[in-house]
Every structure is written in C-alpha cells, then in structure tokens.
Structure 1
Amino acid sequence: MPLNDERPSSTSSSDGESSSERCDSATSASDMDCSRESFTSEGSSKHCTPSSSPPKTLTLDEVMGSARDLSNLSLFHEIVVNRNFQLEPHRLPEDSLWKMVRDNVHKAFWDVLESELNDDPPEYQQAIRLLQEIREILLSFLNPGANRMRSQIAEVLDIDLIRQQVDNEAVDIAGLASYVITVMGKLCAPVRDEEIKKLRESTDNIVALFREIFRVLDLMKADMVNFTIDNMRPVMQKQSIEYERAKFQSILDKTPGALDNTTAWIKMSLEELLTQETSRRSKGQQWVPGPFQVLNVAFLRMLSWDSSKHPLPETWMTDETRLREVQGQLRQCQAVNQVLLIIFSTIGGPIQGLSPLSERLKRMTSVLLDDMHNPNFSLEEALVGVSAQICNELNKSLAERNYPTLTPALQATLTGQICSIAHKDNPIRTLVEDRVQQYFTALICDPKPQARLEQTPAGLYAIRTELASLAAKFVSLVHYNKAVYGPFYADIIRKLMFNRSPPAASPPQDSAQNSAQDPVTSN
C-alpha cells in the first residue's frame, strides 16, 4: 500500500470534532479503494514485511550489527535532512575520566619526544614516527589526480631517507616541520589560513610546534569530511528513501521486535477510530476507518507524544531531536497565545488595536516561558512571573496614554486567570489546543498543505507566523517519514485490521462470510 501516494480531500470541521473525526472528514473515497486493494493481498515488496516469527535469542554479533546499522541510518538521515550538519573534532567532556587519561597519555608521549630531542646526541625515533603519521595524513588530503604534489610529499618526507639522515647526523627536523606547514597551507580550507599563519610565526620549541601541527591537522580532517559530505549530499538525497528503507529492513531482519513500539503507536490510533466506529454503528451508520485515516491520526499524536509514558516509535528515532524541538516550541506558542487571549479579553478597550504593546507582551511572555522544554520547568511558577511582568507592562502603557492603571482587584483577577492555564481543563487552554489540532489535522490530511499554512484558525492570530513555521517543519517530517516507512506501516495496519475481532455493535454474520471478508473490505 503506497501510503505516500495519499489522495485525501480536505473539508472544514467544527470545533467539536475530535482529531480522528476531522481526519475522517478530510479523507476521500480513494482511501477506501486503496485499502480494499492493498489490504486484501500481501505486498510483493521485500521492504514491507516485518518479521512475524516467534521471538528468538539474539547473539552479541547480531545486536552489535543492528547497533551499527542504526548508527549508520541515523548518520545518513541527519546528513540528508539537516543542511547545516557538520562533523566536529571529538572533544571529551571537561573533568571526565577519559579526558584525564587521554591528556596524561599525550603528555607522556610529548615528554618522551622532548627528552629524546634534548639528549646528546639527540634521539629521533619518536620524531620519525610523527613525521610518518603526518606524511600519511597529508597524502590522505590529496585528490586522485594530484600526482605532482603526491610525489613531492613522498620525496621530502621519505622515511627511509630521513633515517639515513639521522644515522649521518644530517637531519633537519625544523626544516621538515616548516615544509609540512607549507603543504598544510596549500591544502587547508580558507577558514584555516589564520591557524597556518600562527604556525609559521610560532617561536615555540619544536615539540610545541609539532603539537600545534597535529591540532590543526585534526581541524583539517574535519574540514575534509564536511567538504565531502556537502558534495555527496545531493546524491544521498536522491537515494535517501530507498537507502533508509533498506537499512531499516536489515535492522528488522536482525531484530524481529524492532517494530513493537511502532505497532503499539499505530494500534492506539486504530482503537481510537474503532471506538468511533462502534458509536456510529449504534446510530445506524456504516463506517470503517481507512488506512490513511489511521496513519494520519497516529501522526497527529506525535505532536503531544510523551516518551515518559510510551516509548517513541522506532520509525521516529532518527527524527527524535527535531520532533522534540517542534513539540517544545508548539507548547510554548500555545501558552503565549493563551496568555494574550486572557489579557485582551480581561482588559478590553484600553489596549485594543495596539500592535506594539501586543508584540511587547508576546515577546516578554515568550522569553519567560523559554524553558518549557526543560523537564524541571514549572509552568505554575513561570506563570506567576509572567503575570507580574504583564501587570507592570500594562500599567506602564496605560499611564503613558493617560488611562487609569489596573486596580489591585483587576490585577489579582488577571493573575489568577493567567495562572489557571497551567491546568489541563482550563477552557482557554482547551480552546487553543483544539484549534491548533484542527490546524495540524487539516495540513496532515491535505496532499498539498503549503496552501493551507497561512490559513490560521480564529483565535491564533498572535502566533500565526510561529505556527506556520512549526507546521511546515512537522509536515515535512511526516511526509518524509511516510515515504520511507510507508510499506512497514501498511503491513502493520493490514495485520491489525484483519486480526481484530468485529465490534460488539456489528450486525451478526455467518461464519463462512466472516472468514471470507474483513470489516475493512466488506463495507
């Protein structure tokens, strides 16, 4: 079932509809046609069959293989979807045990090198090892066609020749270091020119100079990797869907339970729709959920998904950071909008139509709620601070325009109403969250959501820009996720719908008919 070829038609919905009902109203008959065709036959694609074999004990090699595949999948996905992705030289946390051990080992190495070079006569074994490593690093930076420079580096940094020079006491370590810096200057990215300049002007001893050379070489390695990534990204993007799907299939082959959380996630959405089905059948209506409806409701759930209560679906793991970012910013935007609605409904006329004041209040509230993504964030405490700042700003604005300032009683009322949005059953909070759900539902169910991004529901005008930006990010995540994992979702939905028991309110059917027909295709 090619879920990425969805063709639903969107219609407006009332405020009283649930998210799944709105998805239902936005889904056309093609959904049912597709479900009939796809859910009555096994898919032929090798990428759409999660293993249904009994659980087996995994070997350590299989576990490690799956971990490597997941790591490669995550890295590939990050490169494809994040245009600003850059690899940085690995830095260990300060005061960590690993950093202490590494620093001590490195210090011991450089101390040995300094001791050897200060001997009389000097020893050059450590220095030769360093030059050999530098030679290999410099050669690794060259393109296949750079034969002239390759030959020059191999000639100047000829390790056998350097050993002969050491034996004859004719080696010039400082001259070799100067040559290395010159080559680095030719091969480095422009951003490293300042580092090369510092190396050329260095007046430190030869050991300190070599340490700095290796530090800059590490930076150049990262630059080379990032340059390669930037060049390969267009090619990777063209193959991204097929690659990620195949890589996930290989993980699934090694770890049969790799879709358990995804199955539970989709099952919750299917059960929500089946509850509505039972209600509709009791009213004499004939209706069954289509696969697109199930999946759209499941995607909508991700906006408020709480990983502390339910594990994140495996198919969302590569986008976990982006999903958390959208969730946190959406909660903040909703809270800001709720505060502003309360302010303007409570104060009324004296502050109506003042765009600069509205923007100041919005910016102030947003800053004070900026840590909502933090697990230790207390919304109740933050709203107390928001209320105090709001009252001060309102009094200042009213006084400037010769209006009477807020009375203590009105300030207490305003503070109480703002603080009350910390409760989930607050009517203002419920209203805003419902309308945000309507907005995202319409976008998810629409095959061409770009035209709808600016159609902000009533009451959300204050956050229209932020909401459109978040919606664009989320819809992009959903579409890419659906394109990659659509075959897996199709198989899960098909199995869930065919293996479920008929609803209690369903009319009786004979056993032969039940065995031949599924509720999805029998309507």
Structure 2
Amino acid sequence: MPLNDERPTSTSTVSSEDQNSDTESSERCDSLTLSSDVDCSRQSFTSDSSSKHNSPSCSPPKTLTLDEVMASARDLSNLSLAHEIVVNRNFHLEPPELPQNSLEKRVKDMVHKAFWDCLESELNDNPPEYDYAIKLLEEIRDILISFLNPGANRLRTQIMEVLDMDLIRQQADNNAVDIQGLASYIINTMGKFCAPVRDNEIKKLKENSGNVVTVFKEIFRVLDLMKMDMVNFTIQNLRPELQRQSVEYERAKFQSILEKTPNALNHTTEWIKGSIEEATRIMPPAKSSDSGQSGKSLPGPMLLLNVAYLRLLTWDKSNGPLPETLMTDEVRLQELQRSLQLYQAVASVLLIVYSSIGEAMSGLPALVERLKKMTAVLLEGMHSLDFNLTEALGNVSDQICCEVNKSLTERNFPALPAELQATLKGQICDITQRNNPIHTLVETRTQMYFKVVLASANSNSTPPPVPPGLGLIQPELMAMGLSFVNLVNYNKQVYSPFYVSILKNILLMDSTGATRQNGNKQGPPTSSLESK
C-alpha cells in the first residue's frame, strides 16, 4: 500500500474476472510422451526416492516425524493460498467472524471486556493511572508504523516523536498525559493511511463524542479493518508476479509435499488407472499384425487425461477421494458439478415442456427464458441430501402450467387441458427415475460437449457450439465449459510431469506383465505414448 504521504486509490477487496488459462497448456499436453517429457519429469522427480512415491507399487511407507508433518502442512497451505490468488481474481480476505455463542468467541469477548474495564478503571482513578493506556498506545504506534513503506522516513519519525513511550511515561508520572490529544493525532494519522473505502469510518471516529475508552475501542476496530485492507492490497500487488511464476511455484511446492509424504499420489494413480481402463474400452481394436497377432492398443496421453478430467464432472464419494493434484480446485469442481447437475435438470424439464406443448411456446423467447429461470430457482440446492427433488419437480410443473396458461389467456387461447397438465407433471417428475430417456439424453450430450471443449485448442477463447437439444441452456453451458477448460489447462501445466511419471509406471508394469504372460515372445503393448 503506497503510504509515503499518499493515499491508496484501491479499495480493500479485489474484484475482477477469473483468470484465463494460457492456451499453451494444450501444446504442453501434446508433448506428454515417453520421450519428450523425460526432461520435464526430471524437474519434478530429481531422485529415485521421490519417483518411488508415485509408483503404483511402492515399498512400505516410512514413519513421519512431527516436523515433517508440520512442514507438509505448511507447504500445502502455501500451495492452496497461491493457487487461489492466481486462479480466483475475486479472492480477498475478510475479517474473521467467530460463530455466535462459540467458546472461542465467549473467551475472546471476556478477555477484551476485562482489558477495557481495567483501562477505564485506571483512567477514572484519582489521580489517573496510565499503565494500560501506555500499553495500548505502544501497540497502536507499532500498527501505524507497520502500514508505512520503507521510504516513509518523515512519517515514521513523526509517529515515533508523538508516540514516544519514554516521554509519555514521564508525563504519566506527572499526571500530564493528554489522552484526548493523542487519540486525535492517531485518528488523523489513520486518515492519511487508510484506503478511501474507510473514509466514513475515520469520519465517525472524528465525530465520536464518547469517553476515551469508547474512542480507543473504535480505533482498534478500524485498525483491524485497515490491516485487512493492507493484506488484500498486498495480494493484489503480488498477483501479477504469482501469475508469472505460478506453474513453477505450485509444481515445486507439490514436489516438496511429495518428498515428505509417502504415497502422496495414491489417489491420483487410481484416478489415472480408472481412466486408462475407461479410455481403453472406447478405443477401437488394434489391427492385426503381419504375424497374425494383435497388440493391445492404448489411447494417447491427451485422450487419457481428457477422459480422466471428464470423470471429475460426475465424481462422487463412491469414486473415493479426489486426486491429490486436484485438491486446490475441490471447491471449484464441486460448484461446477452442482451447476451442471442443476442445468441438466432444467434442460430436461424444458425439453419435456417443448415436446408436450411446443406450439403454445412458439415465438415467445421471453416466456421460455422466464420458465428456465423459474425452474432453476425452484431446483436450486438439488444436490443437498435433504432436498426433495420429486416434490420440487411437482412444484416446477405446477408453475410451468400456470405460466403457460397465463400466456395463452393473454393471447386469447384456451388453457391447457387438465389431462395434458397431468401428463406433463408426470413426465417432469419421472426425470428422477434411473435411465429416464430425456435426462439420459441430456447427460450424454452434455458429456459430449465437454469432450469437444477439452479437445478444441481455442476453447478458452471461443467455446464450441452446444449439441442439439441443449440450446435452451447454451449460455450457462458455454460458461461452464469455459470455466472447466481453464481449470483443466492450468492443472495440466502444473502437474503434467507427475501425470507422465504415473503413466510411465503403469505402462511399464503392464508391459512387464504382458511379457511374462507371453514367455518373452511378444513385445510390450503398443502405446501412442511411444508412437507420438
């Protein structure tokens, strides 16, 4: 925060759009091959011991010391904070709010009350005592100085002269301390340092006509806000530098965690294994060789990773914990899953409405948009365990019939027949059934869309058009696709060496097993990792 006698022009919070990932991420992924990524892997796996950690079959884990656990926790905390600052342009810190009636809040309130009571008691003595007041002034002085830039020598000297603790102690001994004057100086100095967003708070402090204790209580409250402003301003200034160094920094931090924590890539390994199995099922069989033997064809690394990322859209507890390499994006993935689940349900409802009463809605985009927003609002929170989806869909169908009938009446058309309304309600409520054809169609085409988004080189700037049937949720789906591809591209940039090492180990185990089964008569499975 520029505090060399200048007022900052930024506010305490940072608001902007989410960071767009660099398009070179897709180019990096094209180089995920056994040969081209050897150098890249060496950056993260610099020793035999570190590469063992992500091996599918590793030796028994060593016992961690408390220092190693604490060091890993610090690395993880720093990694998470740096990642959040880089990918979330709206990230900022807020003053901590303790839960009401919590033990921590009660203890804090009691300690603070005891301090202010003691301060008030001392100042009301005859003659006044200033022990607590001097401690208070010293703390305020240190806070004010912490706001200064290194070059603000004039202000630093002025603060030290006015809040000279030795001089104030001498004045206290002679009952000559001007507490009101010192409070006024402190408030005026705070007005020079604070961001414009705190101007009203400073104005209230200057107008405060309460006793000295009340004034100092408010001074500390505003100082706490100013400290948070300073932190957020520092985050804002650090963001460009973090963005330039983020990939290397996060990779190095994760490598540090990996070296301290045994089996730190177990969940990631299982995630990639499952994706290889799924990708292999959708691959066409390999052509037979001249000798009549057909090798086991494996998909390329790009397809393998894209299949792995697509699985995250439908990831739940039954799949186990998320991969360790996605831990910093867990909240974003959950929000994306919930939005996708919500708008898949909205699209299913609107498709049913269109197929049943399409003529009544033809040429009325405003009505369609109103029905979409209304459905999304009524189904908000459908991911919660206590959410009654069938009941909510019943309410949705009632509201849809009401809106459509209202539109028909306004155009002098008869309302929907009761039989059609009952049929419509039944079809809408049936989308909760397993293998419902409408909902299955929407889910399949949604997965198809995200697959195309990941495969397109310029999806982060120009998302591809949505498949037929999903046009009703096109804006929402394209926004989710953009968010998803940015998340994936950034994750690939940071963790590609770890993914490559895992793929090598898995394929090496597979090839070794195949060689033993064939009596060393047949080579390892054909892999596009090698052929690329």
TM-score, with structure 2 as normaliser: 0.87
What do residues 38-73 of structure 1 show as CA deviations (whole Å, max 9, x unaligned)?
589994223583624531111222112111111111
Matched length: 496
Residue 520 of structure 1 aligns with which residue?
Answer: 527
Cα distance, 1:512 vs structure 2:
5.8
Opposite residue 475 of structure 1, the aligned amino acid is V
CA distance in 2, matches of 1:470, 1:257: 33
> Within 1, Cα distance between the matches of 2:239 and 2:283?
46
In 2, Cα distance between equivalents of 1:254 and 1:36:
26
- 1:35 equivalent to 2:16? Answer no
Aligned match of 2:11:
none
Say whether 1:303 aligns with 2:301.
no
Task: Render the CA deviation track for 1:360-399: whole Å, top value 9, x for unaligned.
Answer: 1111111111112433222222111111111111111122
Please list, as runs of the form range in 1=range in 2, the aligned pairs for 1:17-416 lying within 5 A after superposition.
Answer: 35-38=33-36, 43-47=41-45, 49=51, 51=53, 52-276=58-282, 287-307=297-317, 309-416=319-426
CA contact (8 A) 1:50 1:259 kept: no
- Matches of 1:332 and 1:471, distance apart in 2: 15
Structure-2 change in CA distance of 1:185 and 1:452 (3 Å): closer
| Structure-2 separation of matches of 1:461 and 1:186 | 54
SS in 2 for 1:456: coil
Q: Name the SS for the 2:42 alignment partner.
A: coil
For residues 38 and 340 of structure 1, the distance between their equivalents in structure 2, rounded to whole angstroms, comes to 48
Distance 1:451 1:104, change over 3 A: closer
CA distance in 1, matches of 2:504, 2:324: 19
1:116–1:124 Cα contact (<8 Å) kept? yes
- In structure 2, which of residues 491, 506, 529 is the aligned counterpart of residue 496 of structure 1? 506
Structure 1, residues 173-226: CA drift from partner, whole Å, max 9, x if none?
111111111111111111111111111111111011111100000000011111
Superposed CA offset, 1:248-277 (max 9, x none): 111111112221111111111011123345
Instruction: State the alpha-carbon separation in 2 of the partners of residues 82 and 34 from structure 1.
Output: 27
Residues 406-485 of structure 1 mapped to structure 2, 5 A cutoff: 406-450=416-460, 453-485=463-495
Q: SS state of the match for residue 376, structure 1?
A: coil
Amino acid at match of 2:33: S
| Partners of 1:326 and 1:42 in 2: CA distance | 31
* Deviation, structure 1 residue 113: 0.6
For residues 385 and 45 of structure 2, the distance between their equivalents in structure 1, rounded to whole angstroms, comes to 38
Structure 2 vs 1, CA of residues 36 and 152 (structure 1 numbering), >3 Å: closer, same or farther?
closer
**Runs of 4 or more off by more than 4 Å in structure 1?**
3-8, 38-42, 276-286, 501-504, 506-510
Q: CA deviation at 1:244?
A: 0.4
Q: 1:473 to 1:422 in 2, by over 3 A?
A: same
Question: Cα gap change, 1:89/1:507 in structure 2, threshold over 3 Å: closer, same or farther?
Answer: closer
Give the secondary-structure state (helix, strand or coil) at the position aligned to 1:319. Answer: helix
Indicate the SS of the match to 1:370: coil
Mapped partners of 1:421, 1:297: distance in 2: 26
The TM-score normalised by the length of structure 1 is 0.89
Q: Are the aligned partners of 1:35 and 1:520 in contact in 2 as well (CA < 8 Å)?
A: no
Question: 2:268 touches 2:324 (CA, 8 Å); kept in 1?
Answer: yes
Superposed CA offset, 1:407-460 (max 9, x none) = 221111101110111123010111111111111101112222246514111111
Residues 498 and 518 in structure 1, CA contact (< 8 A), matched pair in contact too: no
Work out the CA distance in 2 between the residues paired with 1:222 and 1:451.
35
Give the alignment's Cα RMSD to 1 decimal: 2.6
Separation (CA, whole Å) in 1 of partners of 2:244 and 2:37: 29
Instruction: Write the distance in 1 (CA, Å) between the matches of 2:480 and 2:43.
Output: 34
Aligned sequence identity (%): 57
Sort the Cα spacing of 1:347 and 1:149 in 2 relative to 1 into closer, same or farther, 3 A: same
Contact 1:241-1:483 at 8 Å conserved across structures:
yes
| Alignment-mate amino acid for residue 511 of structure 1 | N
2: CA distance, partners of 1:143 / 1:335: 54
Greater Cα shift, 469-478 or 308-317: 308-317
Given that residues 50 and 488 in structure 1 are in contact (C-alpha distance below 8 angstroms), is that contact kept between their aligned partners in structure 2? no
User: For residues 276 and 210 of structure 2, what CA distance do their matches in structure 1 show?
Assistant: 70
CA distance in structure 1 between the partners assigned to 2:408 and 2:226 by the alignment = 59
Does the 8 A contact of 1:443 with 1:452 survive in 2?
no
Distance in 2 (alpha carbons) for counterparts of 1:83 and 1:34: 29
Mapped partners of 1:457, 1:267: distance in 2: 30
Q: Distance in 2 between matches of 1:458 and 1:47?
A: 46
Contact 2:194 2:226 in 1 (8 A): yes
CA shift in 2, pair 1:257/1:510, >3 Å: closer
